[in-house]
C-alpha cells in the first residue's frame, strides 16, 4: 500500500467500476489524487484497489471510498485498505459508510472491527446510508 499521486489517475479510473461510465467519478478521482488523501494497493506495479481518507465528516477522519477492481474482489484488497487507514491513523476515530444494499461492504466493515453508528435517509432513494465507526486503538 502506498500514497497515490496524479500519475495513478489512469490506473485508478480503469479499475473503478463507476468511472467506466461516469465522468463525474473520473473528476472526483482526480480531485482525490490532488488532495493527497488517496492510497493505492498494487501488485507488481499494477493498481488493484484504492482508498480515500478525508476529514469532510464533521471534521472527523472518514474513509470516503474503498474501490477494488472487479477482478480482484474477494481477495482481501478492501481489508488491506481498511487496515492501512486504521494503522496510519492509530489513536483517532475513523468513520465510513455504505448503502444498506451493499452487504459485502457491511460485512467487511464488521470483520475489520467497525460498528454501525447510525444511518442517513434520502441520499439514495430507498437505500439508506449506514454510518460505521472504528474506535481509536
Buried b (16+ CB within 10 A) or exposed e, 93-103: ebbbbbbeeee
User: Cβ atoms within 10 A of the Cβ of 33, count?
Assistant: 21
pLDDT per residue of the chain (137 residues) written in tens, 0 to 9: 999 999 999 999 999 999 989 999 999 999 999 987 899 999 999 999 999 999 989 999 999 999 999 999 989 999 999 999 998 887 899 999 999 999 999 999 999 999 999 999 999 999 999 999 999 87
Spatial separation of the C-alpha atoms in residues 27 and 56, rounded to whole Å:
18
Backbone angles phi, psi at 110, to 5 degrees: -60, -40
Read off the pTM.
Answer: 0.92
Largest CA distance in the chain: 42
Amino acid at each position: 500500500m502506498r500514497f497515490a499521486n496524479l500519475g495513478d489517475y489512469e490506473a485508478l479510473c480503469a479499475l473503478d467500476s463507476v468511472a467506466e461510465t461516469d465522468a463525474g467519478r473520473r473528476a472526483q478521482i482526480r480531485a482525490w489524487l490532488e488532495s493527497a488523501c488517496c492510497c493505492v494497493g498494487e501488485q507488481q506495479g499494477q493498481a488493484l484497489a484504492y482508498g480515500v481518507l478525508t476529514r469532510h465528516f464533521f471534521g472527523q477522519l472518514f474513509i470516503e471510498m474503498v474501490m477494488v477492481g472487479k477482478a480482484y474482489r474477494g481477495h482481501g484488497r478492501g481489508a488491506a485498505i481498511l487496515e492501512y487507514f486504521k494503522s496510519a491513523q492509530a489513536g483517532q476515530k475513523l468513520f465510513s459508510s455504505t448503502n444498506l444494499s451493499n452487504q459485502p461492504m457491511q460485512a467487511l466493515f464488521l470483520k475489520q472491527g467497525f460498528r454501525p453508528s447510525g444511518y442517513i435517509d434520502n441520499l439514495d432513494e430507498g437505500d439508506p446510508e449506514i454510518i460505521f465507526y472504528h474506535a481509536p486503538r
